Structure 1
């Protein structure tokens, strides 16, 4: 599951590269309408970029939580296995 979260985070990272293009949009002309439209596109691109960054951060945090939980589970499993073997039991 940890790998899936990291894969999803990587997809959000790739999308951020594309959103950068929107955030840097320039108007096709010098007239007011062109610059006004470009400004709106830049604002949308920045908002999209912020959202994608927060989604990537969330996915990376979830991957770390899964990694931590997996490590704790493995430790508990080892301890329990050792205890069972010490009592003469089998798994």
Structure 2
């Protein structure tokens, strides 16, 4: 390849490389944003699962005979 042809090819490659690099950075930024959203969604799902477990525990206690007995004893203790 002659030097006369190499210089214009290199001159054309500079903006092409710049454009490709810029687009690669955009895709990387989008990947990072998607990963952050994924982490946020997982955090919210975990929080909801913990709330569901706590509500289930409360429901189990409130419907248990132990709760009814404690309620009756408390009511009797408050009577003069």
Tell me the TM-score normalised to structure 1 length.
0.62
- Name the structure, 1 or 2, with higher relative contact order (CA <8 Å, separation 6+): 1
Q: Which runs of 4+ in 1 moved over 6 A?
A: none
Q: Deviations over 1:36-82 (max 9, x none)?
A: 21111100011001100100000000010011111100000000011
1:51 maps to which residue?
26
Higher helix share: 2
CA RMSD of aligned residues (A): 1.4
Larger Rg, first or second structure (1 or 2): 2
Tell me the TM-score normalised to structure 2 length.
0.70
Tell me, what secondary structure is at the counterpart of 2:6?
coil
Superposed, 1:62-81 pairs within 5 Å as 62-81=37-56
Matched, 1:30 2:6: yes
